[in-house]
Amino acid sequence: MKILFYGTKSYDQISFDRALADYPTIKIDYIDTELTPMTASLARGYDAVCAFVNSDISALTLEILRGFGIGLILMRCAGFDAVNVDFAKTLGMRVVRVPAYSPEAIAEHAMGLALCANRRIHKGYIRVRENDFDLSGLVGETLYGKTAGIIGTGRIGAALCRICKGFGMTVLGSDLYPNQKLIDEEHVIDEYVDYDELYRRSDLISLHAFLNEESHHMINDESIAKMKDGVIFINTGRGGLVDTEALIRGIISGKIGAAGLDVYDEEGPNVYQNRSDQVIDSITARLCSFPNVVMTSHQAFFTHEALHEIAQVTLENARAYELGEDFVEKSVVC
């Protein structure tokens, strides 16, 4: 089985090459080009393509791929909003993903962003590097005894609930499908509440919801106005969950006291790209100008364990497709 691997980074090739030792019938060719309608023709002669969150797997891309006999789209990520799934179904194409790769890694990064933004650790580090030992402007909030609001309590959200509980926080959850076990058995959520109550009561809010038409820009001027003054706001979920301009207004007004962002709505052209030699009109420059904002670029998942899991599940799904067997549980999109 031959797979064309789009958007290759050095760490991708290292992790997949290590895992390939257990899959002798699978061959991968790596290219650094992203999958788009313009580059789909490069997959001629392959059985499957492997893509990531910043690919453009629109109807046109899928049509071109199908025309070359591609039957399988391997998404090496949990999200699949880059894929026109309904159209893929009509073409008889299979789309699979990696539903959960080290959810603890993402939860740990979310808490790391919260701590850094809240305690201005990034600013303190820069000052000490320049022999400035003044503490003015670096005061933060103690998390012990405060209330954390976790929006979306799947595997990642549940992992953050455990972390917040370990900090001695009261933990509120909000989810369309509440996981009662997190209350009754693990005791890491104190109660499930609706969004408005979570906004009203939480000192720290972290997003882990799915992005769809209903959740797009769920964090906006109206929802931010319902939050506590000085709330710590974290997003390691999807950029589209937040109206960035509303977030900026919330930061300027003081409603949001600290923000840690691994994703943002306008990030598309920047994801995993080095644009340091370009002059760009960047929303990140405006956000990073605030002393209480910390930003990373889709880094939350990035651990050795997560990369290993991504490679293993992706290759196992490829092997299953090759042999006509069932895909890895919960990996199937269509």
Residue 50: inside a domain? yes
Q: Do 135 and 60 belong to one domain? A: no
Residue 329: inside a domain? no
Give the global pTM.
0.90
Residue 332: inside a domain? no
Domain count, the chain: 2
Q: Do 236 and 130 belong to one domain? A: yes
Q: What is the pLDDT of residue 281?
A: 72
Q: Do 82 and 134 belong to one domain? A: no
Q: Do 13 and 126 belong to one domain? A: no
* Mean pLDDT, residues 139-158 taken together: 97
Q: Do 289 and 317 belong to one domain? A: no
Q: Do 258 and 115 belong to one domain? A: yes
* Mean pLDDT, residues 218-243 taken together: 97
Enumerate residues 6+ apart whose C-beta is below 8 A from 177: none
- Residue 260 sits at φ, ψ, to 5 deg, of -125, 120
- Measured distance CA(238)–CA(265) in Å, rounded: 8
Q: What is the pLDDT of residue 254?
A: 96
Q: What is the pLDDT of residue 326?
A: 93
Active site residues: 238, 267, 298
Q: What is the pLDDT of residue 56?
A: 95
Give the number of other CB atoms < 10 A from CB of residue 270: 17
Residue with tokens 């919801």: 209
Q: What is the pLDDT of residue 53?
A: 83
Residue 328: inside a domain? no
Residue 334: inside a domain? no
Q: What is the pLDDT of residue 304?
A: 95
Half-sphere exposure of 318 (CA within 13 A, CB side): 31
Closest C-alpha to 247, from 257, 237, 238 = 257
Mean pLDDT taken over the chain: 95
Q: Do 265 and 275 belong to one domain? A: yes
Q: Do 172 and 90 belong to one domain? A: no
Q: Is pLDDT of 266 > 90?
A: no
- Measured distance CA(320)–CA(327) in Å, rounded: 6
> How many Å is the Cα radius of gyration of the chain?
21
Enumerate residues 6+ apart whose C-beta is below 8 A from 59: 84, 87
Q: Is pLDDT of 67 > 90?
A: yes
Residue 148: inside a domain? yes
Half-sphere exposure of 227 (CA within 13 A, CB side): 30
Q: Do 125 and 268 belong to one domain? A: yes
> Alpha helices of the chain — where are they, by DSSP H?
10-20, 59-67, 85-90, 103-119, 121-129, 155-166, 181-184, 195-201, 221-225, 244-253, 283-288, 304-323
- Between the two ends of the chain, the Cα-to-Cα distance in Å is 20
Residue 244: inside a domain? yes
- What is the CATH number for 121? 3.40.50.720
Residue 269 lies in domain: 103-295
Q: Tell me the per-residue pLDDT of 28-44, one tens digit each, with 9 for 90 and over.
A: 999 999 999 999 999 99
Q: Do 251 and 154 belong to one domain? A: yes
Q: Would you state the structure tokens that stand for residue 108, as one six-digit string?
A: 């740990």
Closest C-alpha to 314, from 91, 9, 18 = 18
Closest C-alpha to 69, from 94, 43, 31, 96 = 43
Residue 14: inside a domain? yes
Q: Is pLDDT of 255 > 80?
A: yes
- Measured distance CA(178)–CA(236) in Å, rounded: 20
Closest C-alpha to 227, from 194, 198, 260 = 198
Q: Is pLDDT of 267 > 80?
A: no
Q: Do 108 and 253 belong to one domain? A: yes
**CA distances (Å), origin 18, targets 22, 46, 202, 316, 317:** 9, 21, 43, 14, 16
Q: Do 271 and 128 belong to one domain? A: yes
Percentage of the chain exceeding pLDDT 90: 88
